[in-house]
Amino acid sequence: MIAIARFQVPIAQSAEFRAQIERALEVFSEREGFISGDFGQNLDENELWTLVTHWKNVGSYRRSLSSTQVKMEVVPLLATAIDEPGAYERSIFDA
């Protein structure tokens, strides 16, 4: 499954936000079921950012959110995300 969170971050806070999102990925990477993750800044609207994580299944993702470390270091960041659904079932396309 894929978890996507989008954020609107003032340009002046970009460096601090980048450090927070990198730390979030480090913490997530220690959780069982985590496959990979990345983040990016929108090329057209520099205040928009995204965090994308890939998980073995939705249960792994949800269990990670109940971890004390995730609650302390990642959930406060996720609470600042744009309010929209963010869990997606993954489909693979092979050309």
In 3D space, the residue among 53, 57, 46 whose CA is nearest the CA of residue 78 turns out to be: 53
8 Å CB contact between 6 and 48: yes
User: Would you say the pTM of this structure is higher than 0.85?
Assistant: yes
Q: Are the C-beta atoms of residues 58 and 3 closer than 8 Å to each other?
A: no
User: 69-80: per-residue pLDDT in tens?
Assistant: 999 999 999 999
**Domain 2-88 fold:** Alpha-Beta Plaits (3.30.70)
Give the model confidence (pLDDT) of 18-61 as tens digits. 999 999 999 999 999 999 999 999 999 999 999 999 999 999 99
Domain locations along the chain: 2-88
Q: Which residues contact 79 (CB under 8 A, 6 or more apart)?
A: none
Report the range of poorest mean pLDDT among 6-10, 61-65, 88-92: 88-92
